[in-house]
Amino acid sequence: MGSPSANIAGPGRLQATDALDRRYDDPSAELLCQIISGLHKGDNYCLIVQRVPDGSKEGTYIQTAALADGRFTVEYQDGDLQHHFHAEVENARAAYEVVVAWAFERPGWREMLAWEREELF
């Protein structure tokens, strides 16, 4: 999965970008559900959601990707590479629930999965 798109949608908004580089400005929970449900191993395998503008050094975002076995990986980064975490979930619905909880700043989203720190630096 690549880094978040550098395109800016507007201040204090959400922006989602899929693997085909389609950008969705201020997506609703319903649209995120549709996009994540349509992800598959192949050309359109991942979705990155970020808040824009993002003033962090190396990006604050959440992303999910379809795996070959039908499971999904979910990753989030909290400002820099030292704060990058990942987890795997059973299906698109589980990935959607975490992505939407992060995107709409719902309390407890970090406790939804058993996150593992990823060493990217």
**Enclosing domain of residue 43:** 13-117
- Note whether residue 6 is domain-resident: no
Model confidence, pTM: 0.85
Alpha carbon distance 48, 82 (integer Å): 19
- Note whether residue 3 is domain-resident: no
Could you tell me if 71 and 90 are in contact, meaning their C-beta atoms sit under 8 angstroms apart?
Answer: yes
Binned at pLDDT 50, 70 and 90, residue 21 comes out as very high
Angle at 41 (CA atoms; ends 32, 28), nearest 5 degrees: 5
* DSSP annotation string for 101-119: HHHTT-TTGGGGS--EE--
Alpha carbon distance 72, 6 (integer Å): 24
Q: For the chain, what is the domain count?
A: 1
- Note whether residue 102 is domain-resident: yes
Is the per-residue pLDDT at 9 higher than 60?
A: no
Residues 24-34 pLDDT 10s: 999 999 999 99
Alpha carbon distance 64, 67 (integer Å): 10
